[in-house]
Amino acid sequence: MNGLVFAGLVFLLAAGLSVIFGVMDVLNLAHGSFYMLGAYAAFAVVSRTGSFWLALLLGPLTVGLIGAVMELVLFRRLYQRGHLAQVLLSFGFTLVFVDLVRSWFGPRTYGIAPPPGLGGAFHVAGANFTKYDVFILGVSLLVGAALLVGWRLLKVGAVLRAGVSDKEMVGLLGIDLGLVFTLTFAFGAALAGLGGVVAAPFVAIHPAMDDNVLILALVVVVLGGLGSIEGALAGSLLIGLAYSFGTFYLQEFSIAIVFALMAAVLVLRPRGLFGIRT
Amino acid sequence: MPAVLLAVLISLPFWTPSRYWVSVAIQALILAVFAMSLDLLLGFGGMPSFGHAAFYGMGAYACGKLFPQLTGGGLLAFLAAGMAAGVIAALPIGALAVRARGIYFLMLTLAFAQMVWGLAFQWTSFTGGTEGMSGIPQAVPDWLQEQGQNVWPALRTAGPFYVVALTVAVLAFAGLTAITRSPFGRALEGIRENEGRMRALGYPTYRYRLAAFVIAAAFAGLAGATTALYNGYANPSQLYWHTSGLVLIAVIVGGTRSLLGAVLGAFFVTIVQLVISSYTEHWQLLLGAVFIAVVLFLPGGLISLGRLGWLRR
Amino acid sequence: MSEIERYLDSKLGEDVDRRGFLKLSASAAGLAALAACGGGTVTPGPSGPTGAEFKLGIVLPYSNVYAELGSSITNGIQLYLNKVGNQAGNRKITVFKEDEKVSTDDAVAATKKLVEQTSVDMIAGYVLSPNAVANRDYLTSNKVPTIIANAGANVISRAKKSDFIYRTSFSNWQPTHPMGSYVQDKLGLKNVLLVYANYPAGAETAQSFRETYTGKFAAADVAPPLGYTGDWAVWVSKITAANPDGIYVFLSGTDSVGFLNKANELGALKNIKVTGSGFFVEQDVLGSVGDRAPVGAVSGLHWALTLDTKENKDFVAAYRKAYNKPPDVFAMDGYDTGRVIVDALNAVKGDTKDPTKFLAAIGAVSFKSPRGDFKFDAATHNVINPVYIRELVKDPQLGYTNKVVATVAGVADPGK
CB contact under 8 A, B237 and C103: yes
| Residue of C99, C198, C203 with shortest CB distance to B277 | C99
Helices (H), chain B: 2-15, 19-39, 53-70, 74-97, 102-122, 124-127, 142-151, 158-181, 183-193, 195-200, 205-231, 241-254, 259-279, 283-297, 302-312
The pLDDT tens digits for B221-274 are: 999 999 999 999 999 999 999 899 999 999 999 998 899 999 999 999 999 888
pLDDT of C97? 93
Predicted confidence band at A154 (pLDDT cuts at 50, 70, 90)?
low
Our CA-based measurement puts residue C372 at a distance from the nearest CA of chain B, in whole angstroms, of 31
List of chain A residues whose C-beta atoms are within 8 Å of the C-beta of residue C293: none
Residues on chain B touching C18 (C-beta within 8 angstroms): 281
Total beta-carbon pairs less than 8 A apart between chain A and chain B: 128
Q: Nearest CA to CA, how far is C204 from chain A (Å)?
A: 17
Residue A64 pLDDT level (bands cut at 50, 70, 90): very high
* Whether pLDDT at A251 is above 70: no
What distance lies between CA A261 and its chain's CA centroid?
Answer: 20
Q: Inform me whether the pLDDT recorded for C27 exceeds 50.
A: no
Judged by DSSP in three states, B210 sits in helix
Selected residue with higher pLDDT from A23 and B251: B251
B245: Cα separation from own chain's centroid: 12
Between A6 and C58, the more confident residue is C58
| pLDDT at position C23 over 80 | no
pLDDT tens digits for C133-190? 999 999 998 999 999 999 999 999 999 999 999 999 999 999 999 999 999 999 999 9
For residues C56-80, one letter each, b for 16 or more C-beta atoms within 10 angstroms of the residue's C-beta and e for the rest, the string is bbbbbbbbbbbbbbbbbbbbbbbbb
What is residue A250's predicted lDDT score, i.e. its pLDDT? 66
What was the pLDDT predicted at C178? 96
User: Vertex B251, ends B248 and B252: CA angle to 5°?
Assistant: 85
**Quick check: A254 contacting B, CB < 8 Å?**
yes
The 3-class secondary structure across C234-281, one letter per residue, is HHHHHHHHHCCCEEEEECCHHHHHHHHHHHHHCCCCCCCEEEEEHHHH
Q: Tell me, what's the pLDDT at B308?
A: 61
Q: What is the predicted ipTM?
A: 0.86
CATH number (domain holding residue B79): 1.10.3470
For residue range C225-256, list pLDDT tens digits in order: 888 888 888 889 889 999 999 999 999 988 99
Task: Compute the average pLDDT of residues B123-137.
Answer: 86
Instruction: Please give the residue of chain B at the shortest CA–CA distance from C106.
Output: B274
A and C: number of Cβ contacts within 8 A: 135
Residue B118 with chain A: CB contacts under 8 Å: 253-259
For C339, other C-beta atoms within 10 Å of its C-beta total 22
**Is B231 in contact with C116 (Cβ distance < 8 A)?**
no
The amino acid occupying position A108 is: R
Q: Which positions in chain A touch C255 (Cβ < 8 Å)?
A: 204
What is the percentage of chain C residues whose pLDDT exceeds 90? Answer: 72
By the CB < 8 Å criterion, does A51 face chain B? no
Quote the pLDDT of residue A149: 86
Average pLDDT over residues C362-388: 96
Interface of A with B in 80-119 (CB under 8 A): 81, 83-85, 87-89, 91-96, 98-100, 102-103
| Nearest Cα residue to C192 out of C244, C121, C270 | C244
Q: How far apart are CA A201 and CA A260, in angstroms?
A: 30
On whether the CB atoms of residues C295 and C394 are closer than 8 A, the answer is yes
pLDDT > 70 in chain B, percent: 97
CA C213-C214-C218 angle, 5° bins: 85
More confident: B102 or A197 = A197
Question: What was the pLDDT predicted at A121?
Answer: 80
What residues in B contact A103, CB-CB < 8 Å? 282, 285
In which band, very low, low, confident or very high, does the pLDDT at C297 lie, cut at 50, 70 and 90?
A: very high
C200 touches chain B (CB under 8 A): yes
pLDDT of residue A174: 66
A162 has a pLDDT exceeding 80: no
Query: Between A108, A112, A251, which is nearest C68 by CB?
Result: A108
* pLDDT at position A212: 77
Q: pLDDT, tens digit, for every residue of C33-73?
A: 443 343 344 444 446 788 899 999 999 998 888 888 999 99
Q: Which of C44, C139, C85, C17 is CA-nearest to residue C342?
A: C85
- Is A250 in CB contact (< 8 Å) with chain B? no
pLDDT reading at A227 higher than 50: yes
pLDDT at B1: 74
**A-interface mutation test, from C62, C128, C231, most A Cβ less than 10 A away:** C231
Residue at C130: amino acid letter: P
For residues A196 and A63, the answer to whether their CB atoms sit within 8 Å is yes
Element (H, E) at C100: none
CB contact under 8 A, B231 and C134: yes
**Chain B residues with CB inside 8 Å of A242's CB?**
none
Per-residue pLDDT at A171 exceeds 70 = no
Please check the confidence at residue A151 and state whether its pLDDT lies above 80: no
Contact B289 A256 (CB under 8 A): no
Neighboring chain C residues of B227 at a CB cutoff of 8 Å: 105
Using 50, 70 and 90 to split pLDDT, how confident is the model at A159?
low
Nearest chain C residue (CA) to B130 = C199
Q: Do C62 and B157 lie within an 8 Å CB cutoff?
A: no
* SS3 (DSSP) at C350: coil
Mean pLDDT of C292-298: 95
**Shortest Cα–Cα distance, B184 to chain C (Å):** 35
Minimal Cα distance from B271: which residue of C?
C109
Chain B CB contacts of C199 under 8 Å are: 124, 129-131
Please report the pLDDT score of residue B67 as a whole number.
87
Candidate from A77, A258, A259 with C-beta closest to B296: A77
pLDDT tier at C20, thresholds 50, 70, 90: very low
- Measured in angstroms, the CA of A140 and the nearest CA of chain B are apart by 25
User: What average pLDDT score do residues C94-119 get?
Assistant: 90
Q: Which chains touch C (3 or more CB pairs under 8 A)?
A: A, B
Domain count, chain B: 1
Mean pLDDT of chain A: 84
CB of A263 less than 8 A from some CB of B: yes
Residue C369 has pLDDT above 80, yes or no: yes
How sure is the predictor about B150, in pLDDT bands with cuts at 50, 70 and 90?
confident
State the pLDDT at residue C34. Answer: 40
When CB atoms are compared, the residue of B111, B117, B290 closest to A263 is B111
pLDDT tens-place string over residues C311-344:
999 999 999 999 999 999 999 999 999 999 999 9
What's the whole-model pTM score? 0.88
Subunits adjacent to chain B (3 or more Cβ pairs under 8 Å) = A, C
User: In the Cβ-directed half-sphere of B277, how many Cα atoms lie within 13 Å?
Assistant: 27
* Per-residue pLDDT at C18 exceeds 60: no
| CA–CA gap between residue A20 and residue A139 (Å, rounded) | 20
Label residue C372 by pLDDT band (50, 70, 90): very high
Residue A30 has pLDDT above 60, yes or no: yes
Q: B134 and C136: CB-CB below 8 Å? A: yes
What whole-number distance in Å separates Cα of residue B64 and Cα of residue B224? 11
CB spacing of A109 vs C11 below 8 angstroms: no
Neighbours of C118 (CB within 10 A): 18
| Chain A residues touching B252 at Cβ < 8 A | 84-85, 87-88
Dihedral (C-alpha) C56, C62, C68, C73: value to the nearest 10 degrees?
Answer: 0
Containing structural domain, residue B208? 2-312
Contact C226 B135 (CB under 8 A): no
Q: Provide the pLDDT for residue B120.
A: 92
Task: For A247, name the nearest residue in chain B, comparing CA atoms only.
Answer: B122
List CB contacts (< 8 A) between C116 and chain B: 18-20, 23, 158
- Hey, are the CB atoms on C257 and A111 less than 8 Å from each other? yes
Position B307 pLDDT exceeds 90 = no
Chain A contact partners (≥3 CB pairs within 8 A): B, C
- Indicate yes or no: CB of C64 within 8 angstroms of CB of A216: no
What residues of chain C, 104 to 143, have a C-beta less than 8 Å from chain B?
Answer: 104-105, 108-109, 112-113, 116-117, 119, 129-130, 133-134, 136-138, 141-142
Cβ contacts of C103 on chain B, cutoff 8 Å: 235, 237, 240, 242-243
- Please list, residue by residue across B192-213, b when 16 or more beta carbons sit within 10 angstroms of its beta carbon and e when fewer do: beebeebeeeebebeebbbbbb
Question: Across the interface, which of C21, C117, C198 has its CB nearest the CB of B20?
Answer: C117
pLDDT category, A35, cuts 50, 70, 90?
very high
Task: Calculate what percentage of chain C has a pLDDT beyond 70.
Answer: 89
* Number of residues that make up chain A: 278
Q: Are C338 and C81 in contact (CB under 8 A)?
A: yes
Question: Which residue does chain C place closest to B121, by CA atoms?
Answer: C199
Q: Could you give the CA distance from residue A85 to residue B292 in angstroms, rounded to a whole number?
A: 9
Q: By CA distance, what is A211's nearest residue in B? A: B242
Q: How far is C378 from chain A (nearest CA, A)?
A: 36
